[in-house]
Amino acid sequence: MTIDERLEKLVERHGALTQTVELMAREMADMKSSIEGMKSGIEGMKSGIEGLKSSIDGVRSYTREIAEPTARLLHIAQILSTGSPGSREGSSSAKQ
């Protein structure tokens, strides 16, 4: 193989390597852009999660607020249905 042939192959390889590096650089830029978009999406999800946490805290608070009055109403309903604060068995045996 002559020096000219070797030089020709070297130039071809250099051209191929240059194209490969350029392609890799474009792909890297595309990946960076995609990653930035993902970061933005993640930040939006974080904000949504914080909103959901706030909503859940509100539901918990409301549940605590209504739990005691609901328990009192249930107790009153039991008294009214049995005629006394005791169990139904006691009142049904007294009726017989």
pLDDT tens-digit map of 4-40: 999 999 999 999 999 999 999 999 999 999 999 999 9
Residue 74 in any domain: the answer is: yes
pLDDT tens figures, 34-56? 999 999 999 999 999 999 999 99
Residue 15 falls within a domain, yes or no? yes
Number of separate domains in the chain: 1
- In this predicted structure, the answer to whether residue 90 has a pLDDT above a threshold of 70 is no
Reply yes or no on whether the pLDDT at 62 is more than 90. Answer: yes
Here the tokens at position 90 are 């006691």
Alpha-carbon distance of 91 to 94, in angstroms, equals 5
User: Residue 60 above 50 pLDDT?
Assistant: yes
pLDDT band at 83 (very low <50, low <70, confident <90, very high): confident
Cα within 13 Å of Cα(82), Cβ side: 17
CA–CA dist 72, 80 (Å, integer): 12
Q: Is 47 inside any structural domain?
A: yes
Residue 92 maps to a domain:
no
| Opening angle at CA 26, ends 20 and 27, nearest 5 | 85
Looking at the domain assignment, is residue 62 inside a domain? yes
Domain that holds residue 8: 3-83
